[in-house]
Amino acid sequence: MPDLGGSAALAAILAMGAVTYAMRAGGFWLMAHVPLTARVRRILGALPGTVVVATVLPLVVRDGVPAMLAIAAACGAMLVRRNDFLAVLAGLAAAALARLWLA
């Protein structure tokens, strides 16, 4: 039976919280010690796009057609209207319809 109670579980939770805060603060702390040249700034500025592509693409490959249609609909809506709400709604509608259709 998993050990969930008492001070050992508390210690595990505190340890998990501590390492997660180290991840949250560590990158910010580290970059205080790296000269922020134009190139370094460019690398850091590129991160939002590359992180999202790296997060989403494996998921899309795994989920298949509905996810692909959802992402395409959301990006299309964003390009045309530049409205976050509309993009999420378009993506959701596309995914729900695709799953209904394929079910």
Partner 1 sequence: MTSPPPSDLEPTWSLAGLRLGIRLMLPALPGMIAFAVAVGATEARRGFGFLHAALMNLLVYAGASQMVAMEAWPDHLTVATIAALALLVATVNARMLLFGAALRPWLGKLPAWQVYPLLQFTTDPGWLITMRYRAEGGNDAAVFLGGALAVLVAWSGAVTAGYLVGALVSDPRAIALDLVMPIFFCAMVVPFWRRGRRTIAWCVAGAVALATERLVPGWWFVVAGGLVGALVEGFFADGADA
Other beta carbons less than 10 A from residue 99's beta carbon: 15
Q: Note whether 65 binds partner 1 by CB under 8 A.
A: no
Quote the least distance from Cβ 81 to partner 1, whole Å. Answer: 11
Coil, helix or strand for 34?
coil
Q: Note whether 60 binds partner 1 by CB under 8 A.
A: yes
Q: How far is CA 47 from the centre of its chain?
A: 12
Q: Note whether 46 binds partner 1 by CB under 8 A.
A: yes
Quote the least distance from Cβ 96 to partner 1, whole Å. Answer: 5
Q: Note whether 43 binds partner 1 by CB under 8 A.
A: yes
Q: How far apart are CA 67 and CA 63, in angstroms?
A: 6
